[in-house]
Structure formats: C-alpha cells, structure tokens
Amino acid sequence: MKEHENLRVKPIQWHSEPDDDLIICRCEEITKGEIRKAVCDGMVTIKEIRRYLRTGMGLCQGQTCGKLVKGIVAKELGVKPDDLEPATGRAPVRPVEMQVLGKESEE
Amino acid sequence: MKRYDMIIVGAGPAGLSAAVEAAKHGMCVAVFDENAKPGGQLFKQIHKFFGSKEHQAKVRGFRIGEALLKQANELGVEVLLNAVVTGIYADKEVIVRHNDTVRHVKGDTILVATGASENMIAFPGWTLPGVMGAGAAQTMINLHGVLPGKRVLMVGSGNVGLVVSYQLMQCGCELVGIVDVAKKIGGYGVHAAKIARCGVPFYMGHTIVRAEGTDHVTGVVIGEVDEAYQCISGTEKQLDVDTVCIAVGLSPMSQLLDMAGCQMQTVSAKGGTVPVCNADGETSVEGLYVAGDVSGIEEASSAMIEGRIAAISAARKLGYLGEAPASEEISKLQASLEALRQGMFAPGNRGKIIEQTEEGIRISNSLLTKGYLEEQEIERFPGFHTQKGIHPVIECTQNIPCNPCQDVCPRHCIMVGDNITALPVVDENSACSGCGLCVASCSGQAIFLVNDSYDQTHASVTIPYEFLPLPAVGTIGVALDRSGNPVCEAEVLSVKANPAFDKTNLLTMKVPKEMSQKARFFAVKSSEQKG
C-alpha cells in the first residue's frame, strides 16, 4: 500500500494520445483515454480505477479487460503491471440478478 | 445446509479427475459448473494429446473427457450444471446460483478448479464482430458446429494459436496467416509444421495494427515491429480476412480464491494472479485446494494429475485414506506430473532461448521462424535415416514429453528410451513393415513412411492426413513440401482409415524418386491450398 502512496505523490500531466478513443472495457464502454485521465486524476490502484470508472464492473467482471486496464495504468505510472496490486476478488464473482440473490433455496 | 466431503468448483479436466479420485475413496462429492455441459475445455480438444501411455497420449482430448465423465457417473458423483459458484465464505461455505435461486452448501474440503480465461489485446477495430478469442472460435467449431468465418488471421503462435489454426483449417476455413510479435514461434514445432505444410505463412515479429470494417471485420492490417513491439512505419500489409482470432495467453480465473481469503501472488510465468499453494495444491486456507489452470497456466494433462493429487490429499485429511497409501499415491502422481514438465517447453524454460536439443543437436531456426524444417536440416536429427525399402522418417526435432511412437511399433524400430523427452531414434536396420501405426500415433503428425524404391523411378510417401473429404485412390494431385509449396505431381496410392488410427488417415502418394524427402503433404489442386 505504501508503494502506491509513493506513486500518488508524482503528479502526472495529462496529454492526449492518438488511440485515446479505443474502447478498453467493453461491458462499460470505458476508453483508454478515460483510464489514462483517471490516473492523472490521482487513481493509482486498480481498485480505485474500478470505482472511479466502473472498468471491470460489467457483465464479464473484468475477465476481458482486467489485464488491459492494468497494462495502461502501469504504463502511465511507469511501473511493471505485476507490481500493481490486483483487483480484489469479491462476491458475487459472476453477475447475479438481485431477485435471484435474494431468493435462497431451502435445499 | 447440505454438507459434502468435497465441493469441487469446475467440471473440467482437473475438477472431474478430482471428483473421480475422491469418490473412489468413498468421499461424498459435489461438482458445480457454470456451463451447460461438463468437461471444461476437454470436449473442444479434438486433437491427440502428447505424453506417455499413463498420460493417455495419442488419445483425443474429448475422448478423455468422455471417459472421465463416464467414470464420474458410475461412481455416483453429483455434477450440477448451470450452477454458478458466486462466492466462498468463512468455514468453507459455498454459495451456488442454480436456476433462479441461490443455495448454501458446506464442504469439509473445497477444490477450486475454475480454469482460465483468454487474454485480449486492444487495437483499433478489436471490438468489431469477427474479432474473437481463439478459444471462442474453437468452441464455435468443435462444440456448436458453427464456422466463425471463412478467412482467418490468427494472432499468437503458442500452442493454442497453432492447434486452433489447424482445427479451423480442418473445418474448411482458410488460414491467411499467423501473426506474433515474438521473433520465434511459441508453440510446439510439430504443431507449426503441420500448418506450414498446408502453405500458411507465419508472420513472426509482426503485430496487428488494426481490424477494418464498419459492422464486421472486412480486413486487417499487420506490420513488422521494432524492439519496443511498435509497428515500423512502412511495413504495413493489408490482408483480406473476415475473422481475427486472438491467442495471446490465458489468465487464471482465481477471483474466488482471493475472496475466500487465500494468500495470492502475481506470477507472470503462471499467467497472472494465483493462490500460493503447497505441492498437494492446498492453499493458505486449510482444506481449500486448487488444481489446473487456476493455479498456473499449463495444460489438460497436468490439470488432471493435479486434480487427483488434491483429491487424495483431501481424502487423507478427512481420514478416508491412510497416511502411507496416500503418500505413496501422491508421490507416484507427482512423478508423472514431473515427467510432463520436462523438455524444452517445460514451465521452467519459459522465455529462455534454447539453441540445441538435449542430444546437443542444433535447433532448426527455420522451424522457429517459418514453421517448417529446411530439407537439409532433417538429416541431423535421429529420426531421419535412409534405408532400402519402406521406413519411417521422424521429423520430431524438439524435446517434448511424448513417446507413443516407441510404444506402438510392433517391430520395435523406434526408440525414445526412458527419458520421455528424448528425440525418437529410428533403428538403422529397421524391420519396418509399413503398418503405419507410428504415423497415426504421433500427436504431432511428424512421422512419415518413405519408400525410395517404390518402382524404378518413383518413391512412395505416406503422410498423416486429417482433412475431409479423403481423396480417392488414383487421384492425381500435387505434393507440397514442408513450406506448402507444390513440388511435383503426386498420385494417391492408398488411403487407410483403420479404426486403430483413430481418424488420422494414412495417405500414401507416389512421387518422383528425388522428391521422397521433399513431399510432405498432398493437395488435390495447388490453388486450393495456397490461397
């Protein structure tokens, strides 16, 4: 956690890149530019990005974009993707409708 | 709340193997799988597996799946399908979503065998219909009988990319090329060779620049990359495709373990974030096991062994199996697992540049960059030799753990030896009868039968042939060399489809004598293969 705080002290200046409009999180339609912008806004962990933008919060639960988002954030921060704290696994690990979640079977 | 001795999440190779093993020892087991069909990826694997007899080498993956499922049913294992495990909580309480309800069950032990998901790469156009994971394409063709498209570009030259490319071709797709940013082909050379000899080009050191189209893929642009894997301007090349398959690795689906409180670690060599576990697959949470790809990306053969080890370890923990028999079983399985982890493609060798074989023979650079061996290179490998009459020529040039060729030869002409990764050696004075069992048993389709003295001016070459329709005897076509180039006219002398060959048909063609070491594939018309 401490390391992430170190990342936070270096302000990152926003500059646009030609592929900023590339969609990265398909479920929530979040672009590369939005993710890069979030890092400039001070989001330095995957958890923070997830809460800020909803990347990886859609139907596939980050199965498709998880590594892509991590790669973009790491590049922006100038660290290795593996050095970033992975997103926390939370229940339900697959999307479940609220009406189902509230309906417990007796078995 | 219903209680089980073992709850298994995932009915793939690891989960089913564990279920069978646990049930054998009398444990009460439940298996949950989110899919409508059991088997995980096994039922998509229509190719023959590598390994030795104990690893069920030369058996096609889906048949291994069928056998496992039959065993599980016979042992009364409860496999609940369309059952999504959404969480694992304290005291091994598992929440399963089934139909429109959720149920709570408890396991004295739990095995998470959830497998992996496919990695993606983002490039302009990657969200267009027609861009898909290679595994998705494999599901379409092998489970649903639906072609993803007609002209395919494969991105990624690892075994998944190579195997799926071949299977797409078997279904009638045209493989326009295989692209990889790496300079060298990542998968087995034998898998690459069977694609290359159909004329498919390998674009190594290339990347996909963009997919084109408005509502579906109508083409792609690829280009050469520099050291930083960026496309070098001016090297772009447009290819006419309607499908792009992505095979750039897998990521363990380990979220359940993270939420269950297991200590996790991110290890590139294992494909991502995995739980820390001991040799039995037990995580930092006592009684919570992992097996298969979720604990580190490997393959189905090792996943099945890991599943069994975890089940035996759990049986010992719960008192279904004594300490001594359990330890003995586990050491046997660990030795078997160790055998699979040998050779050039062993997990420990990932990323290493290997220049020569265990025997000290220089690896073919052509095989690693273009997907095929140059003719003059074959001679330095022990599977090659010339003799009068019919004999095998084995173009197996990398150390991989596999030896069915040695086991099937009724005349013991082929020798791999005790070291399962050794290159097969053909006996100098082989008493080859031309039965073809070795050709059909080679999972890499790397064995050919050559007879240089078929008649005064012709040789016969027997090749493994897994395409339909089978050409009729007497058909005049062309022989292709290892790179897929047509080299001469060839006449089909025979096509053998013996049940013992398990759908690897043996096509024997007559070619001019001087072509016996060049002709390695047959095409009815050259234009159909070359595209």
Which chain B residues are Cβ-neighbours of A68 within 8 angstroms?
A: 120-122
Nearest CA in chain A to B84: A94
Give the C-alpha separation, B161 to B250, whole Å.
Answer: 12
Res. A4 pLDDT band, cuts 50 70 90: low
Closest residue by Cα to residue B477 from B449, B448, B510: B510
CA end-to-end span of chain B = 61
Closest residue by Cα to residue B173 from B189, B150, B155, B145: B150
Res. B259 pLDDT band, cuts 50 70 90: very high
Mean pLDDT lowest for which of A96-105, B214-223, B283-292?
A96-105
Write out the CATH class of domain A1-82: mainly alpha
CA distance A91 to chain B (A): 5
Res. A107 pLDDT band, cuts 50 70 90: low
Residue B335 CB contacts under 8 Å (≥ 6 apart), including other chains: none
Which residues partner with B97 through β-bridges? B84, B102
Q: Does A86 touch chain B (CB under 8 A)?
A: yes
B97 vs A100: CB contact, 8 Å cut-off?
Answer: yes
Res. A13 pLDDT band, cuts 50 70 90: confident
Report the pLDDT value the prediction gives residue A9, as an integer from 0 to 100: 65
B34 vs A96: CB contact, 8 Å cut-off?
Answer: no
Task: Report residue B175 as tokens.
Answer: 């493989």
List the single residue in A24, A67, A100 with the smallest CB-CB distance to B119: A67
Q: Does A13 touch chain B (CB under 8 A)?
A: no
Residue B441's identity, in one-letter code, is S
Report helix, strand or coil for B256: helix
φ, ψ of residue B4 in degrees (nearest 5): -125, 155
Mean pLDDT lowest for which of B149-158, B404-413, B423-432?
B423-432
List the single residue in A19, A89, A94 with the smallest CB-CB distance to B84: A94
Give the C-alpha separation, B453 to B434, whole Å.
Answer: 13
Q: Which of B78, B82, B101, B283 would best serve as a mutation to test chain A binding (most A beta carbons within 10 A)? A: B101
Across residues B349-362, what is the average pLDDT? 91
B102 vs A104: CB contact, 8 Å cut-off?
Answer: yes
Nearest CA in chain A to B114: A93
Report the pLDDT value the prediction gives residue B334, as an integer from 0 to 100: 97
Q: What is the pTM of this model?
A: 0.95
Q: Does A92 touch chain B (CB under 8 A)?
A: yes
Across residues B165-179, what is the average pLDDT? 98
B255 vs A99: CB contact, 8 Å cut-off?
Answer: no
CA distance A16 to chain B (A): 16
Across residues B511-523, what is the average pLDDT? 97
φ, ψ of residue B103 in degrees (nearest 5): -125, 155
Positive or negative, the CA dihedral B406, B412, B413, B415 is positive
Q: How many CB pairs under 8 A join A and B?
A: 85
CA distance A89 to chain B (A): 4
Kindly tell me if the per-residue pLDDT of B529 is higher than 60. Answer: no
Report the pLDDT value the prediction gives residue B352, as an integer from 0 to 100: 85
* Model ipTM value: 0.93
Residue-wise pLDDT for B260-314, tens only, equals 999 999 998 999 999 999 999 999 999 999 999 999 999 999 999 999 999 999 9
Residue B372 Ramachandran class (φ > 0 left, ψ -120 to 50 alpha, else beta): beta
CA distance A107 to chain B (A): 7
Residue spans of alpha helices (H) in B360-480: 365-370, 375-378, 404-408, 437-441
Which chain B residues are Cβ-neighbours of A26 within 8 angstroms?
A: 127
Report the pLDDT value the prediction gives residue B54, as an integer from 0 to 100: 87
Report the pLDDT value the prediction gives residue B349, as an integer from 0 to 100: 87
Q: Which of A70, A93, A98 would best serve as a mutation to test chain B binding (most B beta carbons within 10 A)? A: A93
Kindly tell me if the per-residue pLDDT of B152 is higher than 80. Answer: yes
Res. B70 pLDDT band, cuts 50 70 90: very high
Kindly tell me if the per-residue pLDDT of B424 is higher than 80. Answer: yes
Residue-wise pLDDT for A20-74, tens only, equals 999 999 999 999 999 999 999 999 899 999 999 999 999 999 999 999 999 999 9
Residue A105 CB contacts under 8 Å (≥ 6 apart), including other chains: B98, B101, B102, B103
List the single residue in B253, B258, B268 with the smallest CB-CB distance to A88: B258
B102 vs A88: CB contact, 8 Å cut-off?
Answer: no
Higher pLDDT, A106 or B178: B178
What does the H/E/C string look like for B427-472? CCCCCCCCCCHHHHHCCCCCEEEEECCCCCCEEEEEEEECCCCCCC
Question: Longest C-alpha distance within chain A, in Å?
Answer: 57
Res. B530 pLDDT band, cuts 50 70 90: very low
Nearest CA in chain B to A19: B124
Mean pLDDT (chain B) is 95
Higher pLDDT, B523 or B352: B523
- Cβ neighbourhood burial of A91 (10 Å; 0-12, 13-18, 19+): middle
Report the pLDDT value the prediction gives residue A1, as an integer from 0 to 100: 47
Across residues B366-371, what is the average pLDDT? 97
Give the C-alpha separation, A21 to A35, whole Å.
Answer: 10
Q: Does A40 touch chain B (CB under 8 A)?
A: no
Cα angle, residue B248 at apex, residues B134 and A48 outer, rounded to 5° = 110
CA distance B253 to chain A (A): 8
Kindly tell me if the per-residue pLDDT of B436 is higher than 60. Answer: yes
Give the C-alpha separation, B16 to A103, whole Å.
Answer: 29
Kindly tell me if the per-residue pLDDT of A5 is higher than 80. Answer: no
Give the C-alpha separation, B159 to B179, whole Å.
Answer: 13
Report the pLDDT value the prediction gives residue B531, as an integer from 0 to 100: 38
Residue B299's identity, in one-letter code, is E
B253 vs A63: CB contact, 8 Å cut-off?
Answer: yes
Domain residue ranges of chain A, discontinuous segments joined by +: 1-82
